[in-house]
Chain A
Amino acid sequence: MGNRMMFRDREEFLAALRNLAREGVSQKRIRVETPFYVHEVDEILPTTPAKVKNFALLGAASGTVTGFAFTILTSLSWPLIVGGKPIVSLPPFVIIAFALTILFGALSTFFGFLILARLPSVFGVVPKEEFGNAFVITVEPEETE
């Protein structure tokens, strides 16, 4: 169990966090819990940007590829001319590829978030302690580094 500081006021919380950063306490030892996103925390404790965007890009790209591949390959698997249009009619296939880009992109971003945020968390479903609207800083002891 580390040393815990709880603040009702956001500014006091940020001041304490700045002090810890100034004292050179390792980021790995500092655990922060807030009632909402406080962007200053990332400025005080600089860290690598979130990687959710990689999942977004990967999902969206795979959606585009799947959309085109699926429509083209299924059309070619039984080449049937409908309404005098070419077997591989790209304009309508763009619509399918567009829909799948959004669908795969959104789902992949969501699942990427779950992985990166380490959710769902079994211990968090009914947590032992809840801090409500308090801003909490927990400094873990040095030996856990």
Chain B
Amino acid sequence: MDKPDKLAQVEQDVLSAMKKPGLGYLAALGCSATLFLTLLGLWGYQMTTGMGVSGLMNPVGWGVYITNFVFWVGIAHSGTLISAVLFLFRARFRSSFNRPAEAMTVFALLAAGLFPLIHLGRTWKFYYLFPYPTQRMLWVNFRSPLIWDVFAVSTYLTVSVVFFYVGLIPDFAIARRYKEGLAKRIYGFLSLGWTGTRRQWKNYNQLYLFLAAFATPLVASVHSVVSWDFAMSIIPGWHTTIFAPYFVAGAIFSGTAMVITLVVPMRKILGLGRYITDDHFESIAKILLFTSLVVSYSYIVEFGLASYSGNPFEMETFRYRALGDYTVMFWIMISCNSLIPLTLFVRSLRRNVKYLFVLSLFVNVGMWVERFVIIVTSLARDFDPYAWGTYSPSIVEVGITLGSFGLFFTAYLLFLKTLPVLSITEIKEHL
């Protein structure tokens, strides 16, 4: 096949994913959408009945809702790492993963954004978080980490959406060429009338570079800010300086695992093996292994800091974490995040896509559990034994948690059928 034919082949291969959906797809979409509708129903039930329907209590006022928030923001991170950071480092394998990873970032942030609202209880008061001129002329407290969160996460969502959209502009123009009637107009509209002139490409190239440069610091900053929601307090187990880098490494680790979870079935079902090769998966597996080692190192440092602190509350919190009421969760976390990923030192396992898929599921579970362990164990036993208590999530919280996965997968499945799943233009450029 000569080069021009190869270019056309790339377009057809990627756009063929957008053909009429099969039964399997519709079933998956139906399940995800049902889970999301369950979330909405349970959320409505919680709003009308009150926060008593959740398992939240004294002293554990932050439970799985905040766990989910941290988990989903973390998932978003590797999308930015793959699309922006690897772009700046000129990593070629990026073009096989960047589009699904960017989509994942946006959808994970949508899921994350729900949880502070759900956790508020009186959701309709959410606008109190935004700085706006009130009748009383009182502004928000900019010294509060929760306000930093509002700025960090909303900036992250906006920049991620812009970056995702900008990457799609030339691909929308390609999709327009393959469509007829109304669909042609819609893709033409979304492409902003892109025709590939020299002026457009020259400015586009610089735009993409600068957006990547703007998005790159967000990889480090957003989860640092999320970690300060905890670290700025004086709760033992939270009040530690390692939290920001620890959270950032965990975020990239969990997000990379989620990329593997999403891309392995996508590659198989859509027949994209030619563009997403085992070499590419090996590169992603190396990122997973590296971040797993950083996370494991953070676990060790965290215990070390507590041991040498001379602070009995700190020391007891970490003993409790490993051996207390939540010991099972703690050891699941260690197994999934620190021990099982060590197998990636074996090259044949890094190149075994099925193995990577299973491993990524373990990491997803491990990273969710990690956030649960950090949040709940520290609150369950802080300073005063009189105020200790153990928490377990209620059925409403479990349903809402599953519903967030429903939202995420519904959005992702819709993405597969409506937008080009790989960056056609970039793949063509590298042919």
Contacts and interface: CB of A to CB of B under 8 A. Distances in A.
A102 B155 contact: yes
A95 B150 CA distance: 11
* Size class of the B contact interface (CB-based, 8 Å): 35 or more
B201 A52 contact: no
Contacts of A47: 202
B158 A121 contact: no
Interface residues of A, number: 65
Contact of A37 (B11, B163, B194, B204): B204
Contacts of A92: 142-143, 148
A118 B159 contact: no
B48 interface: no
B177 A132 contact: yes
Interface string B193-226: 1111111111111110011011101100100010
B280 interface: no
A50 B177 contact: no
B371 to A, nearest CB: 22
B158 A107 contact: yes
A123 B225 CA distance: 44
B215 A119 contact: no
B385 interface: no
Given A74-B131, A78-B138, A95 B225 contact: yes
What is the predominant secondary structure among interface residues of chain B facing chain A? helix
Nearest to A86: B143
A56 B142 contact: no
A127 to B, nearest CB: 6
Given A35-B425, A74-B142, A75-B142, A126 B207 contact: no
Most central of B184, B205, B225 by chain A CB within 10 Å:
B205
Interface string A77-97: 110101101000100110110
Interface in B85-142: 131, 137-139, 141-142
A4 interface: no
A10 B6 CA distance: 13
A24 B153 CA distance: 53
A106 B138 contact: no
Nearest to B199: A117
20 contacts: A9-B4, A32-B197, A33-B195, A34-B201, A35-B425, A50-B205, A52-B203, A74-B131, A75-B142, A77-B139, A82-B143, A83-B143, A95-B148, A99-B151, A103-B158, A116-B199, A124-B191, A126-B184, A127-B188, A132-B177
Closest 9 CB pairs of A and B: A124-B193, A121-B193, A74-B139, A125-B188, A120-B192, A113-B207, A8-B4, A99-B151, A133-B7
